[in-house]
Structure 1
Amino acid sequence: MLKKLHYALGLLLMGGLSMQAYAQQQKPEYRKYPATKFEQLDELLPTPNVYRAADGSPGHQYWQQRADYKIQVSLNDENQTLKGSETITYYNYSPNAISYLWLQLDQNRFHKESNTYKSMTFDIDNDPSFQSITWWTGINSEHGYKISHLRDVNGKPLPYTIVGTMMRIDLPKPIAPKGGTFTFSLDWEHKIIDANKMGGRGGYEYFPQDDNYLYEISQWFPRMCVYDDVNGWQNKQFLGRGEFALPFGNYEVAITVPADHIVAATGELQNAKEVLSPIQLKRLEEAKKADKPVLIITEEEARQNEKSRAKGTKTWIFKAENVRDFAWASSRKFIWDAMQVDVNGRKVWAMSYYPKEGNPLWGEKSTNVVALTLKTYSRYTFDYPYPVAISVHGPVFGMEYPMICFNGGRPNPDGSVPDRTKYAMISVIIHEVGHNFFPMIVNSDERQWSWMDEGLNSFLQYLTEQEVPQQPWAKDISAPYPSRRGPAKNIVPYMKSDPDKMVPIMTNSEQILQFGNNAYGKPATALNILRETILGRELFDYAFKTYAQRWKFKHPQPADFFRTMEDASGVDLDWFWRGWFYSTEPCDIAIESVVHYTTQPNDGKSPFETKMFPQDKYRQMIENMEATTGIRFTDAEKRIYQDTKLHFYSVKFKNEGGLIMPIIVELKFADGSSLIERLPAEIWRYNDQEVTKVFATEKPVVAFVLDPNEETADIDTSDNVFPREEKAKGSKFDEFKRSQ
């Protein structure tokens, strides 16, 4: 009934204002149109074409390149070096002939002459940086690739030019479009970095107590750059923050390590009988049917391995199909556990490799977290397509690769596990395993748009974290799970920070000022708000899954995401992308004033400014409209002048932050009940600075509370309550909830 009354009141108010303005013949006041905030994004997004359609899907002539690798690599455990040979077959499916190739040489980032160090700024007194000092001393001069024997399939040398972290190979003749191929080989070697000393996304950790090394090997071989319809070659230099743009391909990799090492890698092990013991093979078979992780190598066995120094080497052979990268880990310290996970009827291996220093935390949690992540992400996107997902514990706190990731979270030396360590470990495993979906399968350009993998993944990480407390292995986990990113209120400190130290989400990876907040936290929060407050879960989940399924094993751009979310949800969201992704404005909406219109004389009980509601005016207006226009009003609509118990509240809202958001307001009634009204963001479309809304109620209101459940990331809640003193009247428990 009240909804219909609201509609009738709005109609009458509009009609009354129009008639009054017409009667007075007032000259209109012209003003500049204020709101670019509701303009479409057409001028910012690329024009749809045959490669990328207007609905956000791949166009009917979409194409992408491919690169297959055959690699042989040897790990020298004495001097921490890698030496490898690789053969790359490059497939040109583009409509263009290609006369040169670009490869990534990521290890060159660690060389003394790297632009990473030369462009790094710091202050010795206030901001000391070991990495910045080292290039002065020449410590890093031996890092980076040594390239040799670059030849075509016939053994003929190929000319090449190294440009920082990139290498151009000049071809004897162009690769033909739409199916041409070119095969070449090269040899290389480089020192492995000390991950704890130099940072990075891979490297080694040395354990002096047992004189052993643990290796996490990534960005370790020359890799093809992406060539696509948007950028041509993506050969932007690797400075350290912007991650990777890589084509898909098949990998055959032979890894030679000391004979007593255990290796984990992208893909499936091809020669298990040659490198594993009979008992390890038996345990793997048992793990296929287990409902909890099975130890393939126990802690006791790992401790014995730490003491061994076997002579000779073993070669572990792995194959991986349709992946964009390859990473691996090796150590004689590894404990190894595994089980198979049912992902919609398909069995997938969940595995963990970790030194004894990771127990008891890793043995209790890691593989279980891997399994939960695969199931949850598959539910929101697509069924996990790879045969295995691996979590490795070592010096790198969090980094992702196809089917394998490196994660931190180490207990204290006495085995005790602080809550902070436990939650950090669970969250980083969810996050890094989740990266299998974004960007390892939905293969966005990380070098340019960090938010497309980190932000989307952080959003799904939040949804997964909230399911952790319900798991049988998580009896020691609090509910709700203490997620760092996702809830709107958690981004407020960043949104209210110094605007001069903020940049829009749509900023290149290397230019972001607050990387964690900008690439992870803000986009994750934006998507959570879009799901919970703007679209609702049903519409959002359908659109998000549509995007994931459209672009799995392809290369999406930001416009493809924006357009798909709108096309599949049926909701125009350009205002949302413009505000959250293209600007740095915060949400700060205030209740400026409230005027109470009543049919009863003011008895002094109303906490608002009170005015008499002009019933006679509306009675006359309705009667005139019925007499002159033929419009007929129902009895319910006529209550506006017949009912003497209705209350009307004219509430003025002010947009002080600039960011357009829906208005969510709670009406608290005198009898202790309450009602939440949700007004869409379009309420600001004619005036993005202030708006007035009339609420009609059958019971008197004693207070209006804006964003009562903290859904919009409002940076100042002191002006969200009217009357202002109402906040002070709240209970201590209410105050505690607000502070939390």
Structure 2
Amino acid sequence: MALLGLGLLPTLALQAQTTNSGTDKFAQLETLLPTPNSYRTASGAPGKDYWQQRADYDIKVTLDDAKQAITGRETITYTNLSPDVLPYLWVQLDQNLYDQNSITKSTQVSQLQDRMPFQALEGLVSDFDGGFKIESVTGKDGKALKTVTNHTMMRVDLPTPLRPGQAFAFNVKWRYNINDQIKLGGRSGYEYFAEDKNYLYEIAQFYPRMAVYSDNQGWQHKQFLGNGEFTLPFGDYKVSITAPADHVVGATGTLQNASQVLTSTQQKRLAQAKNAKKPVLIVSQPEAVAAEAKRATGTKTWTFAAKNVRDFAWASSRKFIWDAMEIKQSGKPVMCMSYYPKEGNPLWGQYSTEVVAHTIKTYSKFTIPYQYPVAISVHGPIFGMEYPMISFNGGRPEKDGTYSSQTKYAMIGVITHEVGHNFFPMIVNSDERQWSWMDEGLNSFVQYLTEQEWERNYPSRRGEPKNIVEYMRTDKSLQTPIMTNSESVLQFGNNAYAKPATALNILRETVMGRELFDHAFKTYATRWAYKHPTPADFFRTMEDASAVDLDWFWRGWFYTTDRTDLALESVKAYSPSTGDPAVEKARLQQLQAAQVPSISAQRNAQEVKSTLVDEKPELKDFYNAYNPLAVTAADQQRYQAYLAGLSPEQKQRLGQQQHFYELSLRNVGGLVMPVVLQLTYADNSKEIQTIPAEIWRKNNEKVTKVLVTKQPVISFVIDPFQQTADTDLSNNAFPRQPAASRFELFQQQQQAPANPMQQAAQSGTK
């Protein structure tokens, strides 16, 4: 800490500060955001003329378990609710990602290593015959419609332009081969179990589906390259799935023909699940194992219906164990269910459906009440993918049934995340093809809140500011702003998931406070439920509902790759002089006595036995005997005159015990943030003071701040709870504090230990 200043504290005045060069970090976003209009307002709410299109589907598909193939036909009824005349429609053909001539395959960067895993090689040499085989596209009259396919998009030319308010129905017949997810990856596909020679199918993007036509960009027909997921219009679905007779099928929506596809025992168990306090087995593990061992002949057709959803997915296997438990959400029943093979137990039977129920309840609290009748988690090879009412999730124990804590929490986390996607983007229907962060980032944030309500100190991967520090301190050439198109993002997980989730957590805990944030976030979800929001709608709503100017926050966190690094460069300590010569000169005497002599003075005291003045006293004069710290009559006269000129209030101020500290703060990382300060006083008590980010508004790089305390302060620390993602804690404390750490000694070639549960089982302990 700096030495105590001498004399009276100068008058405090607003410092004239010059804004740093470059873009002002507090400049408003008006020039970056689209101009408000009657469709989307300046408040962030849908306008009076807001509209969106509608697409309804009647689909019939057949699963060929022998060839791992799908055949299907559908009728799409597209309703034009826009003010525009449409001469053609655009249909998404997402399976064309697997076509041998796909853009994804031809533009995928790759390199060879000295040692290549077979799975990596599979993607390079695969001759998989993927992609949609469109057999026909016809109108209701059966006549062929002209189409043009551009990789993953198909244009359907209409016989006559579709005018506002009109609907057009057309039919599509298609087939395609299902991809092996273990070998080729993907968001859906099959897993083959060699031990029992069975398949597990997770099927999505299985039908040609309508692209979005919106007020803010017209047709959203960016090619599907893999990262940028899906944006789809809402509609009603009727889907009939023909599968092997011994398969169990789960899907988006509600089962319409339970009496035809379920046994009486299964129907009875499903009814019991409506009043259950814990999951009820509809298909038990012994029953699933028995089904694996034999092959029933024939097929069954399962029919599902779903209203006001943006997509449809399903899963099918004879290996499925199936459990269910109904909950009430805002008075409405929600059947929470899980489908999983025996390879998922005991982990899945214990946790999956409970996690589904917990997720629906918690997300409903922080956003909007869940409106759909079903929420499903399916266990398969893909670690996580989401669709309305159904999600595909990973997390598999060892063959002996044990599992590591990492496996357990990863499974709970992925189920929470994927079920949570029912809210973002399945209900709050943002454009994933353009902005991955609007569904992944917002969803990861609420996932963090949900995990923390599952278990105290749940080890969440994303959300805590300290967890994003390593990413944010990486070289800027390896980062892209959050506001980057999904297909151009670098470090996808950090950029689309972790950074926006962390930003929202910082907004909630540090910038806005929980009350203002939670109200604004719920307002956004309520305004844009079952609609198509844009980033501007989110930014504007958060400000509109909270009265907090957040343009600086969006600009820094979402439009730049700046990082948080606030430094406390120096602290100067002052105290006001009493003016009393007896007090002030005694204080100076104490300071003088406490000063350590210089090294030269110390050595001279020993080596210089006498000085010339010591040897010749006649060289001394007045000043050799003068003591400037002695209190004189003249000092007392000046003090009395000083007191006579003070008002009673000023005299009272002199008598108060106050300490003044001038803090020099620097924004090293470029990201302006609130300054969270911890003051530790001489009695070891602590106080937190939070200075809003606006302290940087007139100088984005360096500011000084004066604090006044009643007790002397012995230390200052910026961000003591690591709540702002500060990337360099070494410059946060004054006086400076060494970073505490340890190193570990180990013997090379150590084998990784088995998971603790497995170790305990092997040693016979619990």
TM-score above 0.5: yes
Change (3 A) 1:520 1:336: same
TM-score scaled to structure 2, two decimals? 0.86
- The amino acid that maps onto 2:693 is A
Structure 1 contact 35–686 (Cα < 8 Å) conserved: no
3-state SS of 2:503 partner? helix
Structure 1 contact 117–131 (Cα < 8 Å) conserved: no
Equivalent residues in 2 for 1:508-527 (5 A)?
508-527=485-504
- Aligned residue number for residue 69 of structure 1: 57
Give the Cα–Cα distance (whole angstroms) in 1 for the partners of residues 228 and 375 of structure 2: 24
Equivalent residues in 2 for 1:116-515 (5 A)?
116-125=104-113, 137=125, 139-140=127-128, 142-177=129-164, 179-469=165-455, 479-515=456-492
Change (3 A) 1:273 1:10: farther
- Aligned residue number for residue 38 of structure 1: 26
The structure with the largest alpha-carbon Rg is 2
Q: What is the CA-CA distance between 1:32 and the residue it aligns to?
A: 6.7
Give the Cα–Cα distance (whole angstroms) in 2 for the partners of residues 14 and 392 of structure 1: 64
Give the Cα–Cα distance (whole angstroms) in 1 for the partners of residues 83 and 111 of structure 2: 50
Alignment of 1:572 onto 2:559: no
3-state SS of 1:569 partner? coil
3-state SS of 1:517 partner? helix
Give the Cα–Cα distance (whole angstroms) in 2 for the partners of residues 467 and 160 of structure 1: 51
2:658 corresponds to which of 621, 642, 646: 646
1:681 corresponds to which of 674, 693, 718: 693
Structure with higher RCO (Cα < 8 A, 6+ apart): 2
Residues 476-521 of structure 1: per-residue CA shift (max 9 Å, x gap)? xxx3000000011000000001110000000000000100000000
Instruction: Tell which deviates more after alignment, 698-707 or 384-393.
Output: 698-707
Q: What is the CA-CA distance between 1:344 and the residue it aligns to?
A: 2.1
Change (3 A) 1:676 1:77: same
Give the Cα–Cα distance (whole angstroms) in 2 for the partners of residues 587 and 51 of structure 1: 36
Equivalent residues in 2 for 1:654-673 (5 A)?
654-673=666-685
Give the Cα–Cα distance (whole angstroms) in 2 for the partners of residues 411 and 31 of structure 1: 57
How many residue pairs align between the two structures? Answer: 682
Give the Cα–Cα distance (whole angstroms) in 1 for the partners of residues 518 and 641 of structure 2: 50
Structure 1 contact 35–685 (Cα < 8 Å) conserved: no
- Aligned residue number for residue 22 of structure 1: none
Alignment of 1:94 onto 2:93: no
Structure 1 contact 34–687 (Cα < 8 Å) conserved: no
Alignment of 1:542 onto 2:519: yes
Change (3 A) 1:494 1:312: same
- The amino acid that maps onto 2:233 is P
2:96 corresponds to which of 108, 132, 143: 108
Structure 2 contact 93–208 (Cα < 8 Å) conserved: yes
- The amino acid that maps onto 1:70 is D
3-state SS of 1:288 partner? helix
3-state SS of 2:730 partner? coil
Give the Cα–Cα distance (whole angstroms) in 2 for the partners of residues 54 and 529 of structure 1: 25
Change (3 A) 1:634 1:228: farther
Give the Cα–Cα distance (whole angstroms) in 2 for the partners of residues 552 and 92 of structure 1: 20
Alignment of 1:720 onto 2:732: yes
Change (3 A) 1:304 1:701: same
2:71 corresponds to which of 83, 86, 107: 83
- Aligned residue number for residue 630 of structure 1: none
Structure 1 contact 265–329 (Cα < 8 Å) conserved: yes
Structure 2 contact 309–426 (Cα < 8 Å) conserved: yes
- Aligned residue number for residue 529 of structure 1: 506
Residues 370-429 of structure 1: per-residue CA shift (max 9 Å, x gap)? 000000000011110000000000111100000000000000011101111000000000
RMSD of the TM alignment (CA)?
A: 2.5
- Aligned residue number for residue 474 of structure 1: none
3-state SS of 1:57 partner? coil
Q: What is the CA-CA distance between 1:35 and the residue it aligns to?
A: 5.5
1:708 corresponds to which of 720, 740, 744: 720
Identity %: 59
Change (3 A) 1:439 1:53: same
Give the Cα–Cα distance (whole angstroms) in 2 for the partners of residues 228 and 10 of structure 1: 63
- Aligned residue number for residue 14 of structure 1: 13
- Aligned residue number for residue 738 of structure 1: none
Structure 2 contact 123–184 (Cα < 8 Å) conserved: no
- Aligned residue number for residue 25 of structure 1: none
Q: What stretches of structure 1 of length at least 5 have no aligned partner?
A: 1-8, 18-27, 470-478, 609-618, 627-632, 733-740
Give the Cα–Cα distance (whole angstroms) in 2 for the partners of residues 29 and 590 of structure 1: 18
Change (3 A) 1:30 1:678: closer
- Aligned residue number for residue 620 of structure 2: none
Q: What is the CA-CA distance between 1:55 and the residue it aligns to?
A: 0.2
Structure 1 contact 82–189 (Cα < 8 Å) conserved: yes
Instruction: Tell which deviates more after alignment, 595-604 or 274-283.
Output: 595-604
Structure 1 contact 327–404 (Cα < 8 Å) conserved: yes
- Aligned residue number for residue 20 of structure 1: none
3-state SS of 1:362 partner? helix
- Aligned residue number for residue 611 of structure 1: none
- Aligned residue number for residue 608 of structure 2: none
Give the Cα–Cα distance (whole angstroms) in 2 for the partners of residues 400 and 280 of structure 1: 26
Give the Cα–Cα distance (whole angstroms) in 2 for the partners of residues 83 and 303 of structure 1: 28
- The amino acid that maps onto 2:502 is T
Give the Cα–Cα distance (whole angstroms) in 2 for the partners of residues 32 and 278 of structure 1: 75
Give the Cα–Cα distance (whole angstroms) in 2 for the partners of residues 218 and 185 of structure 1: 19
Give the Cα–Cα distance (whole angstroms) in 2 for the partners of residues 322 and 282 of structure 1: 29
- Aligned residue number for residue 5 of structure 1: none
Q: What is the CA-CA distance between 1:463 and the residue it aligns to?
A: 0.2
- The amino acid that maps onto 1:305 is A
Residues 515-553 of structure 1: per-residue CA shift (max 9 Å, x gap)? 000000000000000000000000000000000000000
TM-score scaled to structure 1, two decimals? 0.89
3-state SS of 1:540 partner? helix
Give the Cα–Cα distance (whole angstroms) in 2 for the partners of residues 572 and 325 of structure 1: 36
- Aligned residue number for residue 631 of structure 2: none
- The amino acid that maps onto 2:351 is K
Q: What stretches of structure 2 of length at least 5 have no aligned partner?
A: 1-7, 578-583, 596-639, 743-766
Structure 1 contact 112–135 (Cα < 8 Å) conserved: no
Structure 1 contact 663–678 (Cα < 8 Å) conserved: yes
Change (3 A) 1:48 1:31: closer
3-state SS of 2:540 partner? helix
Change (3 A) 1:150 1:699: same
Residues 594-623 of structure 1: per-residue CA shift (max 9 Å, x gap)? 111024636569999xxxxxxxxxx99999
Alignment of 1:561 onto 2:538: yes
Give the Cα–Cα distance (whole angstroms) in 2 for the partners of residues 429 and 312 of structure 1: 34
Give the Cα–Cα distance (whole angstroms) in 2 for the partners of residues 431 and 41 of structure 1: 31
Change (3 A) 1:606 1:690: farther
3-state SS of 2:267 partner? helix
Q: What is the CA-CA distance between 1:698 and the residue it aligns to?
A: 1.1
Change (3 A) 1:296 1:606: farther
1:582 corresponds to which of 559, 563, 569: 559
- The amino acid that maps onto 2:87 is S
Q: What is the CA-CA distance between 1:12 and the residue it aligns to?
A: 5.0
